[in-house]
């Protein structure tokens, strides 16, 4: 049985796929995009929306579906701040 993606992964992937453009080195979005993505995916929002961003900045690597699109010169960061 395949592992089910957690809600943070589902949200980040949905937002990334909405705003990513080939060759981009960053993807901008707003907190309201998190709320919208959660509603579209029928996902319960965390009490602290900032925890999603904090998670990928300090605690977890970005999902491969996001990190694999990083330009070659940034690929070693895999979601870590530089």
**Residues 53-81: pLDDT tens digits?**
999 989 998 999 998 888 777 766 555 54
8 Å CB contact between 79 and 66: yes
Q: Which of 70, 74, 63, 60 is nearest to 11 (CA)?
A: 63
Q: What phi and psi values does residue 26 have, to the nearest 5 degrees? A: -155, 155
The predicted-structure confidence for 18-58, as pLDDT tens digits, reads as follows 999 998 888 999 999 999 999 999 999 999 999 999 999 89
C-alpha 52/C-alpha 34 separation (Å) is 9
Residue 56 burial (10 A CB sphere; 0-12, 13-18, 19+): buried
Residues, the chain: 82
């Amino acid at each position: 049985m395949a592992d089910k993606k957690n809600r943070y992964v589902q949200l980040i992937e949905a937002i990334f796929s909405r705003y990513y453009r080939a060759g981009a080195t960053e993807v901008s979005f707003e907190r309201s995009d998190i709320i919208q993505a959660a509603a579209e995916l029928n996902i319960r929002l965390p009490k602290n929306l900032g925890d999603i961003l904090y998670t990928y900045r300090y605690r977890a690597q970005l999902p491969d579906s996001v990190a694999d699109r990083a330009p070659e010169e940034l690929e070693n960061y895999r979601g870590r701040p530089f």
